[in-house]
Amino acid sequence: MILHANSDYATTMDLVLAMDLKDGFVVHGKKGDRAGYRPLTWGLSPVADPIGYLEVMQPRYLYIADLDRIAGTGSHDPIILSCAGMVERCYVDRGSRSPDDSLEGAHIVNVVGTETAGDLLQYRGGMLSLDIRDELVLPEGRAPEEVLFGAAGLPFDCCLIMNISGVGTGRLFSASLLKRMRNAYGKRLFYGGGVRNGHDLDRLARAGFDGAIVATGVHKGSIPHESVREGYWCS
């Protein structure tokens, strides 16, 4: 069962494992401080190479952020294509600056982040990511509700609230802000950044979100690994 957009009664949502790539490794960090990201060697996987990592984690759904390409210092395209073949659906943020930056491949959904995207009217389909720091959308510093309201008329299939300030910290947005964001957007809406545990997932489900992107909570054992393998959370 999939959560319906803007529903106060749905209790099930997609659960997506996040995987950040840098210098050929799966990495982990906090608050979007990309210079401080280091290979993920303390989690459930004993290895930080992407293929070996996925063989251990076995998620149903995957979200990949290519930090090198976002920063303009490199690319993990061959690795991403291989990883996408190991999951049912793979959301990929590789720092799109135009539609020409889309990566074509089986199971891939391109993610267009506001941090790098430029004019959003030029894109057709995929997932729009509202890259948010300190509760304001990058790069212009607008309120998330305002951007979401306008995004409802754009040809994206769904939207992601990416709480950059919450990554690796376990700090979710307030219930009132979550509800305002949900009410501003009628299509499928996902949330990532700062999701600590099952209680946070329950909060997102009750607020009406269609999916959550998780990583730190899974490796710390506060979000069941099996739920990521199944690909959904029941509240």
108-142 pLDDT, tens digit each: 999 999 999 999 999 999 999 999 999 999 999 99
Mapping DSSP to helix (H, G, I), strand (E, B) and coil, where does residue 163 land?
strand
Mean pLDDT of the 94-101 span: 95
Query: Is residue 93 within 8 Å of 114, Cβ to Cβ?
Result: no
Q: CB–CB of 228/5 below 8 Å?
A: no
SS3 at position 113: strand
Tell whether the model's pLDDT for residue 180 goes beyond 90. yes
Decide: 11 and 232 in contact? Cβ < 8 Å.
no
Q: CB under 8 Å to 128, separation ≥6 — which residues?
A: 111, 112, 114, 120, 151, 154, 156, 158, 159, 160
User: What is the SS3 assignment for 114?
Assistant: coil
Q: Are strands 25-28 and 38-39 parallel, antiparallel or unpaired?
A: antiparallel
Phi, psi of 54 (to 5 degrees): -70, -30
Give the CATH number for residue 122: 3.20.20.70
Helices (H), the chain: 50-57, 67-71, 77-84, 144-151, 175-183, 198-207, 216-219, 225-230
pTM of the model: 0.92
User: Is 6 part of a structural domain of the chain?
Assistant: no
Whether the pLDDT of residue 3 is over 90: the answer is: no
138 in a domain, yes or no? yes
Residue that the structure tokens 């430029």 belong to: 118
Q: Is residue 184 part of a domain?
A: yes
- Rounded CA gap, 101 and 110, in Å? 9
Q: Tell me whether residue 5 is in a domain.
A: no
Would 218 be classed as within a structural domain? yes
| The token pair that represents 13 in the structure block | 């949502």
- The CA-atom distances, in angstroms, between 187 and each of 25, 69, 159 are 33, 28, 8
Residues of the chain with pLDDT > 70, as a percent, come to 94
Give the structural domain span for 192.
12-234
44: pLDDT strictly greater than 80: yes
Q: Has residue 63 been placed in a domain?
A: yes
Q: In the predicted model, is pLDDT for residue 2 greater than 90?
A: no
Q: Is residue 1 part of a domain?
A: no
Asked whether the beta carbons of 113 and 88 are under 8 A apart, the reply is: no
Average pLDDT, the chain: 92
> Is the residue at 225 inside a domain?
yes
> How many structural domains are present in the chain?
1
Alpha helix locations (H) across 73-197? 77-84, 144-151, 175-183
Is the pLDDT reported for residue 40 higher than 50?
A: yes
